Amino acid sequence: NREIHLAERPQGWPTEDTFRLVTTDVPTPGPGQVVVRNTFMSVDPYMRGRMNDVESYAPPYALDAPLDGGAVGEVVASKADGFASGDTVLHGLGWREYALLDAAAVQKVDPALAPASTYLGVLGMTGLTAYAGLLEVAKMQPGETVFVSGAAGAVGSVVGQIAKLRGAGRVVGSAGSPAKVERLRALGFDAAFDYHDGPVGELLRSAAPDGIDVYFDNVGSEHLEAAIGAMRPNGRAALCGMIAQYNTPEPPAAPRNLAMLIGKRLTLRGFLVADYWHLIEQFVPEVGGWLRDGKLSYDETIVDGIENAPAAFLGLLRGENLGKMLVRV
Ligand code: NDP
């Protein structure tokens, strides 16, 4: 069994030296436990925060111990009622080839309904984040103009498509390369821009000349400032992530225009997907139906091999992914 440990706490950008590949024995299950051979593991931006030794909504990773995170795999040994070898399951012990888990920490998924990898992405955590943030937190209404940053990523690409499917008037996305911008247009975004092409405020004004009603924030900083500037009265922002500052030792100066919240009666609301897990009951049939009917598409960027999981994570932070970044273990 090979697994990835946290070798040091990064200051600023993590590097390959942040991680260590360690070989251990394949575990055997005790009573009530299963052993899972992971087939896909997720790398996610929130993992960067857990590498710091600070209190947050998720506990920090321990040094010289395996990292963890979402994974799917196949049960290879079971001493738990209700689980048999060959079952496909979703759980929280990624970053390793074999995971030892209590049955209560493992959820069966149906690989016949959708590919196993999608339970980490469009039908899993990132898809639910998009759904909950757009519909419950920002309360998008039909006809409204929506702007989403990080739009070619796992969360953002689903936000834009759900907005269109739920009747948004205009959907605008920003992303980090011309190829990503082209992909957003193919996914049905009405307008898209590469945020490297100029001040975000100006790019957003050309993409949404009449302003925006909803902003789904994956990036923070200059993007958030631009969105506040473009908001129409009573606009709402769902604050999902601020990846522009995850690797900067100092927080950014922007947004500098918070006073606009008053006159425009804006609402900025942060949220965690963990608080919306109850929506899974309506989310899976609705989004699963759109997938089946070909109304919603998803991209995956797949890196092969547990030894390349650190490179996949670093690539995610640098924007090398289109859609969900995954490691095929
Ligand atoms: P993505 O698939 O969107 O991958 C991250 C992307 O961020 C990269 O592809 C890159 O794309 C972009 N990026 C990196 N640095 C910058 C920067 N300086 N400015 C603008 N864009 C940047 O990841 P996820 O979809 O998994 O996550 C998206 C956001 O949602 C993150 O902020 C994450 O922390 C947050 N999140 C929050 C949750 C919650 O419960 N609140 C749950 C899940 C995710 P590009 O090429 O476009 O720069």
Alpha-helical regions (H) of 264-308:
280-292
Q: How far is the CA of 32 from the centre of ligand 1 (A)?
A: 37
One-letter-per-residue 3-state SS of 98-155: EEEEEHHHCEECCCCCCCHHHHHCCCCHHHHHHHHHHHHHCCCCCCCEEEECCCCEHH
Q: How far, CA to CA in Å, does 192 sit from each of 133, 135, 160, 179, 269? A: 20, 21, 11, 11, 24
Per-residue pLDDT tens over the stretch 252-277: 999 999 999 999 999 999 999 999 99
Atom of ligand 1 nearest to the CA of 240: 41
Per-residue pLDDT tens over the stretch 49-88: 999 999 999 999 999 999 999 999 999 999 999 999 999 9
Examine the pLDDT at 118 and tell me if it is beyond 90: yes
> Quick one: how many helices (H) and strands (E) in the chain?
9, 15
What percent of the chain lies above the pLDDT cut of 90? 98
Q: Residues of CATH 3.90.180.10 domain(s) within the chain? A: 2-121+300-328
Per-residue pLDDT tens over the stretch 198-211: 999 999 999 999 99
Euclidean distance between CA atoms 53 and 248, whole angstroms = 15
Per-residue pLDDT tens over the stretch 124-135: 999 999 999 999
Average pLDDT over residues 172-197: 98
Higher pLDDT, 249 or 117: 117
Average pLDDT over residues 166-175: 98
Give the pLDDT score at 74.
98
Q: How far is the CA of 243 from the centre of ligand 1 (A)?
A: 5
Per-residue pLDDT tens over the stretch 79-91: 999 999 999 999 9
Q: Which residue, 34, 15, 86, is CA-closest to 310?
A: 15
* CATH fold for the domain made of 2-121+300-328: Quinone Oxidoreductase; Chain A, domain 1 (3.90.180)
Examine the pLDDT at 33 and tell me if it is beyond 90: yes
Residue 58, SS3?
coil
- Nearest-CA residue for ligand 1 atom 39 is 272
Examine the pLDDT at 249 and tell me if it is beyond 90: no
**Ligand 1 neighbours by CB, cut-off 6 Å:** 44-46, 126, 129, 150, 152-156, 175-177, 180, 218-219, 240-241, 243-244, 271-273, 316-317, 319, 321, 325
Average pLDDT in the chain: 97
What percent of the chain lies above the pLDDT cut of 70? 100
Average pLDDT over residues 220-242: 98
Ligand 1 pocket test target in 128, 131, 155 with most atoms within 8 Å of CB = 155
Q: How far is the CA of 150 from the centre of ligand 1 (A)?
A: 5
Q: In the structure, what pLDDT confidence band is assigned to residue 163 with cuts at 50, 70 and 90?
A: very high
Correct CATH for 125-274 of 1.10.579.10, 3.30.465.10, 3.40.50.720, 3.10.450.50: 3.40.50.720
Q: How far is the CA of 215 from the centre of ligand 1 (A)?
A: 14
What is this structure's pTM? 0.98
Judge contact between 131 and 158, C-beta under 8 A: yes
Atom of ligand 1 nearest to the CA of 44: 26
Q: Establish whether this prediction's ipTM goes over 0.95.
A: yes
Q: Residues of CATH 3.40.50.720 domain(s) within the chain? A: 125-274
Q: Which helix (H) or strand (E) holds 323?
A: none
Q: How far is the CA of 156 from the centre of ligand 1 (A)?
A: 8
